[in-house]
Structures are given as structure tokens and as C-alpha cells.
């Protein structure tokens, strides 16, 4: 019985502790993290076809950073606010998955 | 007592009850940037049209000293009134009375006005501003919620149900809005969640603020629980007043017909779409180029932006528009966009609103996250909704219509009544690049210069299939039209479909992939 119990985990719901099993999906869940606005991430998988900026460059909100070829569409990625390019983590021709940090700004 | 004195006594009682939680509580409400429940009802309805019922209802709590407390109206105002001189039923939770908490009589008042709304076949507007269940009333408050949900479900698809979240709406309370047709939220005021930040932190160790967890923007952008986002209560009320002009009062009526207006075109419709299919544009410009007065009322503007849904009018009649949006995520179909469009299609079908679909879509979004999120069952909702709908259904293919997405976007095969295509349309099993790689794999692999051969074969495939004429030759498309003819074709096809009859097999109900 003791051994049998060991596979159960403690789970708290509405201030009450329960012993229970968890699901694979629950175990694999990603912890929520606040998005960092200074990281420009890809919102869709694609290829980088053009980069228009370089590190250290000062830019205004709305200026185009790069073009991503994703799902047969050229998507322009723009500066979300005024700032300076800190680093560029992709090069022209890179095929990148979704959620890749392409550029960081400061 | 003289007659006059009874009247004076009545007036006194009314005045007292109408104070809700009293001056202090009202001050607090105002300090939070919120209007009172009564002000909200007034702002939504026609002037002086509101009639209140159950003002003197008292709560029935008998435990934890509740019997000593007076809660005016038990924390909710119910009544009827008019919008544009048409009758509507409305309730508003009053946060100044015991935090708008829901006890048995509070719920009984809401269910009473819901029953009225359903019987009289008039829209129901519910304003939510409540701390949740009244713990002191125990299981009675749970019973109250359940009885509301049951009525929300029964009224679904019969009368329009509108939920306005103007304060907290937490725990079980969230499910009434979730069962209704349209949910309105306001920045910094609306908060919706099942479990609050505190509990989440204790149980899972995740730290998050209330606004980040269940604020107005989160629900309009990320969860898709809200349909309309406003920056102020006044803006929210204007949105409600606009929405109501587009929808019929019940499922046996049609939406009000408005005077016909020509679109106010800023440029020619064929100048909106770039010829190069790789370049994006805003599909809402095409919708505005075909609707009366270029008026388009978008729904769920911030959620799954890769598909656009909303109402416009053609020849004065309300039309539901569903359009792929190349400007966002290249206009792909994915879990969220399928879900968003499917529910809207079912709304239009339930309320006799014809559907116009504008298609420019490269297919389903590839990715592990999509597959594991269940894009198969979510995508199936879209197929189900289009196939099930018996209202007039017209499709215009603007550019790309590839693969499974071509079928899903109201194709002839799912029962479209009319399918038009612009000459720029590309209807094929997949994009030329991908198709050439498969069809001509051997030729490309064996060529002296595979890159050159690949390019050549892509062009060959493009010339042959990246056009509307193959599909037109099979009758899958009724007509290839010039872009400038779009509005005229829509007008004609919708007129022809006005008395459409499209019977379905007898059944209790289908089993859509919820």
C-alpha cells in the first residue's frame, strides 16, 4: 500500500490537499512567463529573407527590422517602440521555428 | 392611511431601495472608475424607457447573522426597456450591495427576467459586476448559478444574449457570459477568471497580476472569451448600441433593413490586393469596398487576427463576413481562427444572417504546438459550421485557396450557394513551390542543375494550376469575375438566395467537435 501511494502527488485545490495522479499534458505544461517586450520573437515559423538593421542602430517605433517569409507571405517585422538594437540572433536565409528570439532591443 | 399617504410611503420605499448599497458604497464604486448599475442600464436603453421589477425583493440568508442585514434588491436590478424603440430585457448586478454577490433571491431575479426575455422573444442584456457566490448562502448560491446557466443554454440561438463585464466576474460566475453570444469587456474594469492569482500562486507557484491573468485585453487578445474590447464604459455602451442594429430580435425574425448606401470607396477595389501573392494587405479594405457605406463592424478584432469576422450590410440587409486576413500570420487557418469563425457562422445561421466568405489563405499553420493543441478537432469545427449552416452562403476567392483550407472556407463542396473567384485566384491542392517538389521530385533530383529545374517546374505548375480556371472547368466555381464586379455579384446572389430552403435530416441535434 505504501509503495502504491508513492506514485501519487500532492495537489492543492481550494485550500485542500489531495493525493492524485497527474496527466502527461499537465506534467509537460510550460510555466507562464511574462513576455519580455525587448525580445522580438517570431510569431510564425519561416525564413529570414532580409535584415534591414544592425546592432547599435537607433530606431523609431514602426521602422521595419526584417522580412520573414512565412506561409508564402512576406511579413514585415517592425520595431515595437523607440530603441536601440542590442543584438541580432538570426542571419539572412535562416529557417526559424515559431517563438525564436530574432532581435533584442534596449 | 389616506390614498395620498400610501403613495408617499411607496415613493419613500422606492427611493430608499434605489439607493442600493448607500452613498459610501456608491462613492467607492465611482472611485474605481465605474458607473453604478442604474447608470449603466440608463446609458444602454432608450431614454426613460426602463421599468424595474423586484425592487423590494429581499435576501433569504439566515445564517452567519445575514438575517440582520438589509440588501436592497439583493444586489441586482432587473427590468425591461427599449433600444431603438424595440423591447429588450436587462439585468445589472449592483456591486454596491454586498459586492454584487449572488445569493438565492439575486439569482431568482435574474432567472425571472431571463424567462421573460425568452418567452417574449426579446434580446437579453446582462451586466456582470459581482464578487461571486454569496458564501453565507452556501449551496443556494450554487443553485442560483446553475439555474442561470440552464436558461442561458435554453435561450441560445433563440434570442440574442449579450454579456457586459463591468467589474469582477470570477469563479462559476464566468460561465454565464461564456454561454452567451457576445461578451463585452472594458480596460481596467473587467476581470474574469476561474481561480484568482492568489490561488494560482499557492498551487502552482506561478506569479501573475489580476490584469495579466484575466484583464480585458487578455480576454480579447489571448483567450478569446471576449468579443468586444473598449477603453471606457461609454465606449462599451456605444459598441452594444451598434451591435444591436445588426442582429434580429429573435431567431424567427430578420435583422432590421436599413436604407441602401453605396460603398465609400477610397480607391478601386482591384488596387487593394497586391498582384504578388507573397505580399500582404488588409482584407477589411475589401469588405469595406463591398458593404453599404463601407461600414464594417468587426467582432473579436484582437483575437486570432488571421481571420476577420463581423457584420456589414449589403442593400440594407445584415451580412456576416468571414475573411482570411493575409496581414496576420499570412492568413493561415489554425486552432483559434477555426474556433472563432465556426462560432460566428453558427451565430449567423441561428439568426438568419447570410454569410459572405472572402478567401485568401495558404493553408493550415504547421507546427508541433498546433498539432498538439488539437488543430484537427478545432479545424473540424469550421467544416462542421459551414456544412451545417442553411442560410445563404456565398464565397469569393481573392487569391490563395490551397489544400484543406480551400475545402474549409465555404467551398462548393460544403454547400456554398455561389462561389466566385477573382482572376488572381489560385485554387490548388497546395502552393506551387511545395507541389513542384513532390510532383517533379524525380526530374528535379536527376537534373544537371536541380535548382534551375526546380524553378522551371514551379513555373510550369503555376501556369497550369495557380489560377481559377481548372476549378471553374469542373463547375466548382460558378464564375470568374473582375474585382470591380464583386459587390454587384454579391447583391444579386444574395437576392436570389433570399427565400433559400435547404432541409436537413431530422435529428435531435448534431454532434459538432466541441
* pLDDT, averaged in runs of 10, over chain A (106 residues): 67 77 82 87 90 93 92 89 94 90 93
- Confidence class for position B488, pLDDT limits 50, 70, 90: very high
* Partners of residue A76 on adjacent β-strands: A67
Is A80 domain-assigned? yes
Cell of B427: 485554387
- Confidence class for position B195, pLDDT limits 50, 70, 90: confident
Any CB–CB contact under 8 A between B275 and chain A?
no
Q: Which domain holds residue A43?
A: 39-105
Sign of CA dihedral B131, B134, B139, B143: negative
**Percent of chain B beyond pLDDT 90?**
77
- Say how many Å lie between the first and final Cα of chain B, rounded: 62
For the stretch B415-424, pLDDT in tens is 999 999 999 9
Is B258 domain-assigned? no
Average pLDDT for B390-402: 96
Same domain for B352 and B461: no
Show residues of chain B in contact with A14, CB under 8 Å: 199
Same domain for B137 and B8: yes
Same domain for B231 and B283: no
For the stretch B87-96, pLDDT in tens is 999 999 999 9
Same domain for B454 and B350: no
Same domain for B330 and B278: yes
Residue B278 CB burial class (10 angstroms; 0-12, 13-18, ≥19): middle
How distant is the Cα of A92 from the closest Cα of chain B, in angstroms?
18
The answer to whether the CB atoms of A74 and B278 lie below 8 A apart is yes
Chains A & B: contacts with CB separation below 8 Å: 51
- What are the percentages of helix, strand and coil residues in chain B, rounded to 5? 45, 20, 35
Any CB–CB contact under 8 A between B477 and chain A?
no
Is B75 domain-assigned? yes
- Between the CA of residue B346 and those of A80, B225, B321, B334, B353, what are the distances in Å? 36, 16, 12, 18, 10
CATH number at residue A78: 2.40.50.100
Residue B307 CA from chain centroid, whole number:
12
Average pLDDT for B310-315: 98
Between residues A91 and B202, which one has the greater pLDDT? Answer: A91
Query: Do B509 and B397 form a contact (C-beta atoms < 8 A)?
Result: no
Average pLDDT for B203-220: 89
How many CB atoms within 10 Å of residue B481? Answer: 18
For the stretch B290-301, pLDDT in tens is 999 999 999 999
Same domain for B83 and B72: yes
How distant is the Cα of A97 from the closest Cα of chain B, in angstroms?
8
For the stretch B224-240, pLDDT in tens is 999 999 999 999 999 99
**Residue in B202, B279, B362 closest to A71 by CB:** B362
The answer to whether the CB atoms of A72 and B366 lie below 8 A apart is no
Same domain for B424 and B396: yes
Number of domains in chain A: 1
Is B69 domain-assigned? yes
Asked which of B145-149, B287-291, B329-333, B342-346 is least confident by mean pLDDT, the reply is B329-333
Query: Do B303 and B341 form a contact (C-beta atoms < 8 A)?
Result: no
Cell of B261: 448606401
Same domain for B209 and B67: yes
Is B33 domain-assigned? yes
Query: What is the widest separation between alpha-carbon atoms in chain A?
Result: 66
Show residues of chain B in contact with A98, CB under 8 Å: 367, 369
DSSP class of B133: B
Residue A4 pLDDT: 58
Measured distance CA(B227)–CA(B233) in Å, rounded? 15
3-class secondary-structure state, position B180: coil
Q: Which domain holds residue B446?
A: 432-465
Show residues of chain A in contact with B431, CB under 8 Å: 72
Is A75 domain-assigned? yes
The answer to whether the CB atoms of B203 and A13 lie below 8 A apart is yes
Average pLDDT for B194-201: 85
The answer to whether the CB atoms of B330 and A72 lie below 8 A apart is yes
Contacts of B513 by beta carbon, 8 Å cutoff, 6+ apart: B377, B378, B380, B381, B384
3-class secondary-structure state, position B56: coil
- Residues present in chain B in total: 514
CATH number at residue B481: 3.90.226.10
For the stretch B113-150, pLDDT in tens is 999 999 999 999 999 999 999 888 889 999 999 999 99
Top residue of A71, A76, A96, A99 to mutate, by most chain B CBs within 10 Å, is A71
- Confidence class for position B465, pLDDT limits 50, 70, 90: confident
Q: Looking at this predicted complex, what is its ipTM?
A: 0.71
Same domain for B144 and B115: yes
Is B511 domain-assigned? no
Is A22 domain-assigned? no
How many CB atoms within 10 Å of residue B249? Answer: 21
DSSP class of B269: G
Chain A residues at the B interface, defined by Cβ less than 8 Å, are 11-14, 31-32, 34, 43-45, 69-75, 97-98
For the stretch B9-65, pLDDT in tens is 999 999 999 988 889 999 999 999 999 999 999 999 999 999 999 999 998 888 888
Is A21 domain-assigned? no
Same domain for B301 and B240: no
The answer to whether the CB atoms of B278 and A73 lie below 8 A apart is yes
Rounded to two decimals, the pTM is 0.91
Is A100 domain-assigned? yes
Same domain for B379 and B396: yes
Flag whether pLDDT at B491 surpasses 50: yes
How distant is the Cα of B206 from the closest Cα of chain A, in angstroms?
7
Is A12 domain-assigned? no
The answer to whether the CB atoms of A12 and B365 lie below 8 A apart is no
Same domain for B223 and B146: yes
Is B504 domain-assigned? no
Residue A1 pLDDT: 45
- Confidence class for position B188, pLDDT limits 50, 70, 90: very high
Is A25 domain-assigned? no
Task: Match 499534458 to its residue by C-alpha cell.
Answer: A25
Number of domains in chain B: 3
Residue B311 pLDDT: 98
Amino acid at each position: 500500500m505504501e509503495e502504491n501511494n508513492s506514485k501519487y502527488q500532492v495537489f492543492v485545490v481550494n485550500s485542500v490537499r489531495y493525493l492524485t495522479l497527474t496527466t502527461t499534458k499537465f506534467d509537460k505544461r510550460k510555466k507562464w512567463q511574462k513576455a519580455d517586450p525587448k525580445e522580438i520573437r517570431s510569431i510564425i515559423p519561416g525564413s529570414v529573407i532580409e535584415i534591414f538593421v544592425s546592432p547599435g542602430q537607433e530606431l523609431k517605433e514602426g521602422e521595419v527590422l526584417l522580412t520573414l517569409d512565412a506561409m508564402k507571405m512576406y511579413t514585415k517585422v517592425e520595431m515595437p517602440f523607440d530603441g536601440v538594437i542590442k543584438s541580432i540572433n538570426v542571419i539572412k536565409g535562416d529557417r526559424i521555428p515559431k517563438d525564436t528570439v530574432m532581435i533584442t532591443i534596449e | 392611511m389616506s390614498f395620498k399617504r400610501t403613495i408617499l410611503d411607496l415613493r419613500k420605499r422606492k427611493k430608499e431601495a434605489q439607493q442600493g448599497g448607500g452613498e459610501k458604497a456608491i462613492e467607492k464604486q465611482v472611485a474605481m472608475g465605474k458607473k453604478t448599475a442604474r447608470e449603466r442600464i440608463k446609458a444602454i436603453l432608450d431614454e426613460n424607457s426602463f421599468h424595474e421589477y423586484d425592487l423590494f425583493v429581499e435576501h433569504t440568508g439566515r445564517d452567519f447573522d445575514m438575517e440582520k442585514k438589509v440588501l436592497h434588491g439583493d444586489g441586482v436590478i432587473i427590468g425591461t426597456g427599449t433600444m431603438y424603440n424595440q423591447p429588450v430585457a436587462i439585468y445589472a448586478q449592483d456591486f454596491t450591495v454586498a459586492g454584487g454577490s449572488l445569493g438565492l433571491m439575486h439569482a431568482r431575479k435574474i432567472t425571472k427576467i431571463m424567462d421573460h426575455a425568452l418567452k417574449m422573444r426579446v434580446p437579453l442584456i446582462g451586466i456582470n459586476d459581482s464578487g461571486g457566490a454569496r458564501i453565507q448562502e452556501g449551496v443556494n448560491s450554487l443553485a442560483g448559478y446553475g439555474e442561470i446557466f440552464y436558461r442561458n443554454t435554453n435561450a441560445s440561438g433563440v434570442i440574442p444574449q449579450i454579456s457586459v463585464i463591468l467589474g469582477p466576474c470570477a469563479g462559476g460566475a464566468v460561465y454565464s457570459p461564456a454561454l452567451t453570444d457576445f461578451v463585452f469587456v472594458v480596460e481596467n474594469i473587467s476581470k474574469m477568471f476561474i481561480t484568482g492569482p492568489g490561488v494560482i500562486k499557492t498551487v502552482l507557484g506561478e506569479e501573475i497580476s489580476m490584469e495579466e491573468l484575466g484583464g480585458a485585453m487578455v480576454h480579447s487578445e489571448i483567450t478569446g472569451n471576449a468579443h468586444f474590447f473598449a477603453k471606457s464604459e461609454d465606449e462599451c455602451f456605444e459598441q452594444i448600441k451598434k451591435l444591436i442594429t445588426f442582429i434580429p430580435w429573435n431567431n424567427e425574425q430578420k435583422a432590421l433593413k436599413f436604407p441602401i448606401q453605396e460603398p465609400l470607396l477610397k480607391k478601386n477595389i482591384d488596387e487593394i490586393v497586391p498582384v504578388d501573392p507573397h505580399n500582404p494587405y488588409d482584407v477589411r479594405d475589401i469588405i469595406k469596398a463591398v458593404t453599404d457605406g463601407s461600414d464594417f463592424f468587426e467582432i473579436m478584432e484582437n483575437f486570432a487576427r488571421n481571420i476577420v469576422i463581423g457584420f456589414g450590410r449589403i442593400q440594407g440587409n445584415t451580412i456576416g463576413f468571414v475573411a482570411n486576413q493575409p496581414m496576420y500570420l499570412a492568413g493561415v487557418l489554425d486552432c483559434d481562427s477555426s474556433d472563432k469563425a465556426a462560432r460566428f457562422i453558427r451565430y449567423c445561421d441561428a439568426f438568419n444572417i447570410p454569410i459572405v466568405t472572402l478567401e485568401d489563405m495558404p493553408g493550415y499553420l504547421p507546427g508541433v504546438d498546433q498539432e498538439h493543441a488539437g488543430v484537427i478537432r478545432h479545424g473540424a469545427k469550421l467544416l462542421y459550421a459551414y456544412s451545417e449552416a442553411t442560410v445563404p452562403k456565398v464565397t469569393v476567392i481573392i487569391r490563395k485557396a490551397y489544400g484543406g483550407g480551400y475545402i474549409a472556407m465555404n467551398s462548393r463542396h460544403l454547400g456554398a450557394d455561389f462561389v466566385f473567384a477573382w482572376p488572381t485566384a489560385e485554387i490548388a491542392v497546395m502552393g506551387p513551390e511545395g507541389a513542384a517538389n513532390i510532383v517533379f521530385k524525380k526530374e528535379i533530383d536527376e537534373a544537371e542543375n536541380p535548382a534551375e529545374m526546380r524553378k522551371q517546374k514551379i513555373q510550369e505548375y503555376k501556369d497550369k494550376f495557380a489560377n481559377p480556371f481548372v476549378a471553374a472547368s469542373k463547375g466548382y466555381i460558378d464564375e470568374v469575375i473582375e474585382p470591380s464586379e464583386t459587390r454587384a455579384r454579391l447583391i444579386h446572389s444574395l437576392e436570389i438566395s433570399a427565400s433559400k430552403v435547404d432541409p436537413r435530416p431530422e435529428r435531435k441535434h448534431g454532434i459538432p467537435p466541441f
